[in-house]
């Protein structure tokens, strides 16, 4: 899942950077239109629109890749069925079947007389 998280973050960064860039070009076009002429401002607006369109394509492609990566990630193995857990359960079952041991037997072992 780490890959999909990183792709989503890249998508957000691309969108934020693209929006900032397009907004800056729009402001520049507004200032240029008032000062130097409408031709340069028109070209800047066209460039801003091209940037926005390219950004949308790239962001959509990253979103598609993130969606694919999320669907292709193999589901994690069921931890309740792991080999280590199976061994532990078998050990617990074996211990449960044993007779309870007194403290004396635990410390000194079973006597030979029994």
Residue 60 has pLDDT above 70, yes or no: yes
CB-count exposure of residue 58 (10 Å: 0-12, 13-18, 19+): middle
Return the higher-pLDDT residue of 93 and 33: 93
Q: Please give the helix or strand (H or E) that residue 26 lies within, else none.
A: helix 2-35
Mean pLDDT over the full length of the chain: 79
CA distance 8 to 56: 14
Q: What pLDDT, in 10s, does the model give residues 9-50?
A: 888 888 888 888 888 888 887 777 666 667 887 888 888 888
Sign for the CA dihedral angle at 59, 60, 65, 70 comes to positive
**Model confidence at 113, in pLDDT bands (50, 70, 90)?**
low
Predicted local confidence at residue 76, as pLDDT: 60
The structural domains of the chain, with segments of one domain joined by +, span 2-72, 79-108
Q: Mark 66-92 as b/e (b = at least 16 C-beta within 10 Å).
A: beebeeeeeeeeeeeeeeeeeeeeeee
């Amino acid at each position: 899942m780490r890959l999909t998280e990183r792709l989503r973050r890249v998508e957000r960064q691309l969108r934020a950077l693209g929006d900032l860039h397009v907004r800056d070009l729009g402001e520049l076009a507004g200032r240029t239109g008032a000062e130097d002429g409408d031709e340069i401002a028109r070209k800047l607006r066209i460039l801003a629109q091209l940037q926005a369109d390219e950004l949308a394509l790239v962001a959509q492609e990253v979103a598609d890749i993130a969606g694919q990566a999320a669907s292709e990630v193999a589901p994690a193995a069921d931890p309740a069925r792991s080999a280590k857990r199976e061994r532990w359960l078998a050990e617990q079952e074996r211990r449960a079947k044993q007779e309870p041991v007194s403290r004396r037997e635990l410390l000194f072992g079973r006597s030979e007389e029994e």
